[in-house]
Amino acid sequence: MLKTSPRKYVAEEIIQRNNINIVGHGEETLLLAHGFGCNQNMWRFILPYLCEKYQVVLFDYVGSGRSDFSAYQQDRYHQLEGYALDIIEICDTLKLTNIIFVGHSISSTIGWIVSVARPDLFSKMVAICPSPCFLNLGKEYQGGFEKTDLENLIQLMNKDYIGWGNYLAPMVIGKNLPQTEQSSDNETDTLLQELLTSFCSTDVTYSKPFAEATFFSDYRNMLPSVTHPCLILQSSNDALVAVDIGKYVQRNLQNAKLEIIEANGHCLHMTHPMHVLNAIKAFI
How confident is the model over 186-205, as pLDDT tens digits?
778 889 999 888 888 888 99
Q: What is the DSSP string of 95-107?
A: T--SEEEEEETHH
Residue 265 confidence (pLDDT): 95
pLDDT tens-digit map of 201-245:
888 999 999 999 999 999 999 999 999 999 999 999 999 999 999
Residue 201 confidence (pLDDT): 82
104 found inside a domain: yes
Partners of 259 in the β-ladder: 233
pLDDT at 4 over 60: no
At residue 176 the predicted structure's pLDDT band, cuts being 50, 70 and 90, is low
Give the CA count within 13 Å in the CB-facing half-sphere of 73.
Answer: 15
273 found inside a domain: yes
Query: What is the domain extent for residue 256?
Result: 11-283
5 found inside a domain: no
Catalytic residue from among 266, 269, 272, 275? 266
Residue 238 a catalytic site member: yes
Catalytic residue from among 64, 107, 238, 272? 238
pLDDT tens-digit map of 131-159:
999 999 989 899 999 999 999 999 999 89
- Mark out the alpha helices in the chain (DSSP H runs): 11-17, 47-51, 80-93, 106-117, 147-159, 161-173, 185-201, 204-216, 243-252, 268-271, 273-283
Residue 44 confidence (pLDDT): 96
Residue 75 a catalytic site member: no
**DSSP strand pairing (21-23 vs 55-58):** antiparallel
206 found inside a domain: yes
Tell me the residue type at 43.
W
Give the predicted TM-score (pTM) of the model.
0.93
What's the structural domain count of the chain? 1
Q: Are 34 and 60 in contact (CB under 8 A)?
A: yes
Catalytic residue from among 64, 105, 115, 217? 105
219: domain CATH number?
3.40.50.1820
Residue 197 confidence (pLDDT): 87
pLDDT at 184 over 80: no
37 found inside a domain: yes
Q: Are 257 and 1 in contact (CB under 8 A)?
A: no
6 found inside a domain: no
Residue 105 a catalytic site member: yes
At residue 177 the predicted structure's pLDDT band, cuts being 50, 70 and 90, is very low
DSSP 177: S
1 found inside a domain: no
At residue 12 the predicted structure's pLDDT band, cuts being 50, 70 and 90, is confident
Mean of all residue pLDDT scores within the chain: 93
pLDDT at 123 over 90: yes
75 found inside a domain: yes
Region 77-83 average pLDDT: 97
Closest residue by Cα to residue 143 from 28, 245, 22: 245
